[in-house]
Homo-oligomer: A and B are copies of this chain.
């Protein structure tokens, strides 16, 4: 067992006999009340909150007034290295603290939560995970889009646009899977993704929805065709979730976009339904 004393950093008022722990909490997609009750309860007992740039600032108010709040959000290469975040979680827990690691959306969806958990557990510290509402599912839901729909799409695939085009996707298989595609962190690479999918056979007129700041009062939704996405790129900056597939035509757009010449219409693919309840 590692002794907290080896750091020589204990606060005068802290209890050295306390066993520290880490709770990885999903903050939800945006909108402080989209955190779970379990996640809010973890925050309420936090001694230290380590949070990302994307977490809703109001969430920090759920922690006790005396809790330490440490921002480690990363943006465009700035922020704290992952190794340093891991070390911070371990260090704070070894001091006997309850450390809440607050991550946007769900901690395990492109969140590197698994790396943090592995580091914490490797140090012999208890680590609990509280799942969160992932923007990958919540953004489409809030925009009125069912990711699956009978006769239209029987599955959905979530991928990150963050490392496009060098990410190791099997584009041909993804394009032909029939799956609704949900692209996270793809605002800047949306044009490349669309071009690649069309090259692999997705139709130029396939509906696309872009959902910006889902779950917040500033939420915006735009719809367009896949070829328009390829030509004009994403109409919103980050954070934006893209939905590519016929179900995107169900979206309730909040504004017209320059890239949208006309509203996509829902097409029934192999369905007995002649008309779909679009809009």
In the complex, whether A209 has a CB less than 8 A from a CB of chain B is no
Residues of chain A from 26 to 74 with CB closer than 8 A to chain B in the complex: 26, 28-29, 31-38, 40-41
In the complex, whether A215 has a CB less than 8 A from a CB of chain B is yes
Interface string of A3-47 (1 = CB under 8 A from B): 000000000000000000000001011011111111011000000
What residues of B have a CB within 8 angstroms of the CB of A250 in the complex? 114
Residues of chain A from 188 to 213 with CB closer than 8 A to chain B in the complex: none
**Residue in contact with A33 in the complex, picked from B36, B109, B148, CB distance below 8 Å:** B36
What residues of B have a CB within 8 angstroms of the CB of A41 in the complex? 33
What residues of B have a CB within 8 angstroms of the CB of A129 in the complex? 141-142, 144
Most-contacted residue by chain B among A34, A138, A141 (CB, 10 A): A141
What residues of B have a CB within 8 angstroms of the CB of A238 in the complex? none
Interface string of A120-149 (1 = CB under 8 A from B): 011000000111111011101110111111
The chain B residue sitting closest to A132, CB to CB, is B133
**Residue in contact with A168 in the complex, picked from B131, B173, B178, CB distance below 8 Å:** B178
In the complex, whether A179 has a CB less than 8 A from a CB of chain B is yes
B178 to A177, Cβ gap below 8 A? no
Number of interface residues of A (CB under 8 A): 67
A37 to B38, Cβ gap below 8 A? no
CB distance from A209 to the nearest CB of B (A): 13
Most-contacted residue by chain B among A28, A140, A159, A167 (CB, 10 A): A159
In the complex, whether A107 has a CB less than 8 A from a CB of chain B is yes
The chain B residue sitting closest to A178, CB to CB, is B170
What residues of B have a CB within 8 angstroms of the CB of A149 in the complex? 114
What residues of B have a CB within 8 angstroms of the CB of A176 in the complex? 170, 172-173
CB distance from A55 to the nearest CB of B (A): 15
Cα-based distance from A147 to B177 in the complex (angstroms): 18
10 closest Cβ pairs, A-B complex: A114-B146, A118-B277, A131-B138, A155-B159, A173-B177, A33-B38, A108-B141, A33-B37, A157-B157, A173-B176
Residues of A within 8 A of B (CB): 26, 28-29, 31-38, 40-41, 106-110, 113-115, 117-118, 121-122, 129-134, 136-138, 140-142, 144-149, 151, 154-160, 163, 167-170, 172-174, 176-179, 215, 250, 270, 277
Q: A129-B144, A168-B178 are in contact. List 13 more A-B contacts (CB 8 A).
A: A28-B36, A34-B130, A36-B133, A108-B145, A114-B146, A115-B277, A131-B133, A136-B137, A151-B168, A155-B157, A155-B160, A170-B177, A173-B177
